[in-house]
Structure 1
Amino acid sequence: MTPLPHPVDHELIQAAAHVARTRCRGDNHTMAAAARARDGRIVTAVNAYHFTGGPCAELVLVGTAAAQGAYDLDVIVAVGDRGRGVVPPCGRCRQVLLDYFPGLKVIVGTGDRVRTVLITDLLPESYVWADHQLETEKPPPHSTG
């Protein structure tokens, strides 16, 4: 039995596309991201492109969401400027998104092949940074000296 596909949040794609179209100008801001929090709010952000590796729109969005009190994101999408459409997250963003929101859904694909997948599907069998926080502190070994 194959699992049911996750529905595509077209309103979220439109929100990211609107931000990309209206706020991404020049070379400093070339991508927009939008995420829906579990409470239904939509949060948007743009990247801060820089030759040193400035933060992607998805990472700026994580901070923006926290600043707005949206700590539990449900689904995210990134859209490029100049009509590039939906763009999948880079490797760094995939890892950060997995660490912050292990149940997150991500919209990927192009045109009529846009689909929603789990972040774990984009980064299978990965190291989860937050796992180290789950380990219980072990007492130091005692000497037999």
Structure 2
Amino acid sequence: MDAAETLARSLGDNDNHTVAAAAMDVDGRIHQAANVYHFTGGPCAELVALGVAAAAGAKQLLTIAAAGDRGRGLIPPCGRCRQVLLDHHPDILVAVPAEKGPVVRPVRKLLPVVPRRVV
């Protein structure tokens, strides 16, 4: 969470990058990324972080967190990101804001109904 919030603070007033994400792999490496805002729907920071991790050779991610710029702090992933995280890293833990402070939840718990793959 700290890595995502630190990167989000460094984004400043750049309207093209408004959310930062950080993912930790099984080797303890932190992979940081920022979203790419575009009116057509650019990639979210969480998805960019998955690509950064893959490019660095990470096979399995343990945790991921996203934070908004301009002091917005920890933010939950959108529905699309939740689904992609589930599909690519079904055991990942996701940091999300809660009433009494941040909590870490399995990605499966962040989706209303988790469909089973039919082969």
TM bucket by the smaller chain?
A: over 0.9
The corresponding residue for 1:117 is 105
Answer yes or no: is 1:91 the counterpart of 2:84.
Answer: no
Answer yes or no: is 1:34 the counterpart of 2:22.
Answer: yes
Answer yes or no: is 1:21 the counterpart of 2:9.
Answer: yes
Q: Equivalents in 1 of 2:99, 2:18: separation in Å?
A: 19
SS in 2 for 1:77: strand
String of CA shifts for 1:71-102, please: whole Å, max 9, x gaps: 21000000000110100000000000000011
Which among 56, 67, 78 is matched to residue 68 of structure 1? 56
Backbone CA RMSD of aligned residues: 1.5
- Counting matched residue pairs gives 119
Identical amino acids, percent of aligned pairs: 53
Q: Which runs of 5+ in 1 are unaligned?
A: 1-12, 136-145
**TM-score of the pair, normalised by structure 2:** 0.93
Q: Equivalents in 2 of 1:72, 1:25: separation in Å?
A: 33
SS in 2 for 1:49: coil
String of CA shifts for 1:18-39, please: whole Å, max 9, x gaps: 1111135421000000011011
Q: Equivalents in 2 of 1:34, 1:58: separation in Å?
A: 8
The answer on whether the counterparts of 2:13 and 2:70 sit within 8 Å (CA) in structure 1 is no
Q: Which runs of 5+ in 2 are unaligned?
A: none
The answer on whether the counterparts of 1:85 and 1:110 sit within 8 Å (CA) in structure 2 is no
String of CA shifts for 1:97-143, please: whole Å, max 9, x gaps: 00001111000015742100000000142235xx35xx3xxxxxxxx
Return the structure number with greater strand share: 2
Larger radius of gyration, structure 1 or 2?
1
Q: Equivalents in 2 of 1:63, 1:25: separation in Å?
A: 24
Q: Equivalents in 2 of 1:120, 1:91: separation in Å?
A: 12
Deviation above 6 Å: which 4+ runs of structure 1? Answer: none
Answer yes or no: is 1:59 the counterpart of 2:81.
Answer: no
